[in-house]
Structure 1
């Protein structure tokens, strides 16, 4: 279910997209923008965002690409998401704070549910039973997978397990996210992330302003 609240209330915002599309940078800029407006945003991420979830994160983003089956990944991501929801997201929203998360359930729908097998039904079923909420606004950063993959691998963060699946995988991810934007037009906004950071931030701020109204 969607968590859309009254106009002007606390917003739950997710940023989605392929690896290296600039989500973390734009999440940081959006948090600064909302703070400038006098709001009290909380910036977080998935997998992670709470102590237990951060421990699970290391299992998911490090190591060999074939370390886990898609089904195991779905369970691990959902476990991390539940901890994140209980300990970070819900308390912040209840306190009237905007929450900006770098990834949420849509990533599991695409990464595990649509590109590593026909598991979307399983993802949605577990999500409905265990998580039960959607963001008020999802910003999907869309860009050329080849450029994004080069950028992601250049970070050498050690958290490059999904980048290691290769360029074809990133192309499937992009197609999946673009399809998701059409599936959920009420909450998803497709953002052209192939431009400079200022232009992307301007479009994101406009999308958030529309939702606040």
Structure 2
């Protein structure tokens, strides 16, 4: 069955977004994993950017004891496990997206199956994004106790660094919604394709007449 321009463009957009996100998250998670095990020394400083870097380094990547006074769910040891999970599924996402783009461009018969697998993986990634974002939101709340005296400098940089991580985990939130919408739409479209293919197959099946 041939594909209309709408279906092809929809699949291509989904595949390209999957490739871009997969490559980006593969790179980000690989860097985080390397830093966690390598534990390079980080330069100290008092600039805004440097203090944010130090907080991100100590909170998520390397347990240097500088934030041990605060109870966080996502400490460096837990965070690296999540990074490994993201690394594996990001590589899979890249592979599925490239295969889907190839199947669409060459009108391969496996296109519907690949699109459905892409949708399943994307929904799983979106669910993982949601879980990690919720965990980060819990850590965000643990940065301070909202005292009447206001936010301390340490609390401010904790809020900022965790907020940055939460935004990345939620894919800017807009992209997270786009991923869910694309996966659901592809599910619906491939379901209709499979039903139509089954219907055509039953119609074209030769009838045997017995005398």
TM-score with structure 1 setting the length: 0.26
Greater C-alpha radius of gyration: 2
Question: Would you tell me which structure has more helix in proportion to its own residues?
Answer: 2
Compute the TM-score of the two structures, normalised by the length of structure 2: 0.26
Q: Which has the higher contact order (CA 8 A, sep 6+)?
A: 1
Higher relative strand content: 1
